[in-house]
Homo-oligomer: A and B are copies of this chain.
Amino acid sequence: MGVILAMDIGGTQLRAAVYPTNNKTPLEIKRAATRGQEPGAFDRLTALIDSIWPQEPVEAISIAIPGPINPYTGFIIETPNISSLSKFPIGEKLTERYHVPVFAGNDANLAALGEWHYGAGIGHHDLVYMTISTGIGGGVIAHDQLLLGSHGLAAELGHVTVLPDGPMCSCGQRGHLEGIASGPGITRYVIEKLAGGISSSLAAKSNLTTLDIAEAAAYGDELARAAFAYAGGYIGLALANYLQIFNPSIVILGGGVSQSGGLILDPIITSLQQHVMDPYYLEGFELTTARLGDDVGLLGALAQAHIQLAEK
């Protein structure tokens, strides 16, 4: 019986894991530093693969990519934090080297697959996954199928305009959800209010992070709480849109910001209920947080391999 080699390319870590084909408990996991701003990321990746390459026959390599990728061709369009992998045909290069089927997908899409197969979304047929951290990404399962679109670039759920003329997003557009409600969006909100003269315990901080703001909020800092409430309000508004667009039976929130508990979830839920156009969309509906933690990329890659191998 063969094994699956799953990979997750993260901003700080490369992960590789060997899974038996019938099980989500890995036989082995290895990690290496990504060092994204240095050249040679592909060499570091293949060194990691070589070091973990198992005795058993490898049925497929399946890999999660932190950026837009065409999963039909295995061509990476962009990896904002790993310069040497942008515009890189990773599917082709890995197939050439290892002579096994290679499947590559966007990490947020694969996180949706992972939560659907192994995590909070088991048993659902229509699922929206949104990850809220440095960026806001997404993945959608519609009628038991991952939404990919014609070039595999679908489900950019953070890159939708929710406030025309709003703050600049990392993608260069204004007023996207990501620009407002990601970690950097929350930080910007606080910095702008501080510059406007609002008083807060955060005024003393240099190099403000979302974690600082969450801590200040826990101690009752009004500005910190307002920053999460503002972000949560827009996330709830966007989720109401997604309920009307996808009519999912579950929305799963992942990423660091979504782990801030009621601080972010309460305003999200209030805003979602306020903005949803019809209570039918909330019938049998569940809003929850991700279950798979740091392994979501690997398990998403594993799920992708199972689906692709079954279709062959």
Contacts and interface: CB of A to CB of B under 8 A. Distances in A.
A35 interface: no
Given A145-B145, A161-B162, A162-B164, 15 more contacts: A68-B278, A77-B278, A77-B280, A126-B154, A143-B145, A147-B246, A149-B247, A151-B280, A151-B284, A154-B244, A159-B244, A161-B237, A161-B275, A172-B277, A173-B275
A307 interface: no
Give how many copies assemble into the complex. Answer: 2
Contact of A125 (B150, B155, B240, B285): B150
Interface centre among A77, A163, A283 (most CB of B within 10 A): A163
9 contacts: A142-B145, A147-B246, A150-B247, A153-B278, A154-B247, A156-B244, A159-B244, A176-B277, A245-B245
A247 B153 contact: yes
Sorted nearest first, the 4 A-B pairs with minimum C-beta distance are: A149-B247, A150-B249, A156-B244, A154-B247
A94 B287 CA distance: 36
A173 B160 CA distance: 18
B247 A152 contact: yes
A117 to B, nearest CB: 18
A149 B142 contact: yes
B143 A277 contact: no
Interface string A130-159: 000000000000110101111111111101
A280 B68 contact: yes
B283 A151 contact: yes
